[in-house]
Homo-oligomer: A and B are copies of this chain.
Amino acid sequence: MKRVMLTVAYDGTDYCGWQVQPGKETIEGELNRALSALTGEVIEVIGASRTDSGVHALGNIAVFDTDSPIPAEKFSYALNQRLPEDIRIQRSEEVSANFHPRHCESRKTYEYRIYNAPFPLPTVRLYTHFTYVPLNVDLMSQGAVFLVGEHDFKSFCSVDTQAQSTVRRVDSVEVQEAEDSWRRPSEFGGLRSGRQIVIRVTGRGFLYNMVRIIAGTLIEVGRGHIAPQQVEEILEAKNRQKAGPTAPACGLTLVGYEFPEEEIDGNSLK
């Protein structure tokens, strides 16, 4: 018996999120189906993050136990043959039999992407949130500063939450314009420029919808509806209604996890 950790990338557009739900297409469901077919065992993975419907990932984490003779690092190749093309394992490796991706120290990073231009651009529409109102990135950065550190994020949490405590620690919130690679129509024929704005948030745990409410609030700051220093007041109010709207799922991508070496090291058991 060994415990294997998968790093999973997906395009969440066509899925009802990570978590298995009867009669719906989910990332977890596709992983369970592919793993069970591959190994002949009944496998149900443990996911690190139960991303919502429409949210994307470059590096979500899934863990499972197996008696399969397939070496841990070969699961990536074998699973990618059986998964739909909008889910791809980026890495597979053996981890400690005690490793549980939700019950351990970890940091994760999300990115929220905004396409800010007069008109939507079809080739980025699935992975960004479009807004034509010009956003001021400097103001957004100034507002973001107040979110860093340990705070009660009750104002930035869906009222549906089942969390016992709404205190969380955010390590960093950066707002920047994405360079180059999303090509700007502005270079050609004098078109007004389109640009991508990225909000990158790293922390040790997030409340339900927290990153999307942070994004929705910083968008309000960027358009001048909320002053940057009001973000501090919104935190202090501990009232969901004081923050901005929940920004749409398609702009959100779970970039990746960092775990302490000693948590995941499968060799320590050998």
Contacts and interface: CB of A to CB of B under 8 A. Distances in A.
Interface residues of A, number: 47
A180 B178 CA distance: 7
Contacts of A86: 122, 125
Contacts of A89: 119
Interface string A244-258: 000000000101111
A94 interface: no
Contacts of A87: 122
Main SS class of interface, A: mixed
A126 to B, nearest CB: 8
A139 to B, nearest CB: 22
B122 A11 contact: yes
B125 A85 contact: yes
A59 B179 CA distance: 20
Interface stretch (A38-46, A183-191, A235-243): A183-191
A97 interface: no
8 contacts: A7-B189, A10-B123, A58-B121, A58-B188, A88-B120, A178-B181, A188-B258, A191-B256
Interface of A: 7, 9-11, 56, 58-59, 76, 80, 85-91, 109, 111, 118-123, 125-127, 178-183, 185, 187-189, 191-192, 196, 198, 253, 255-259
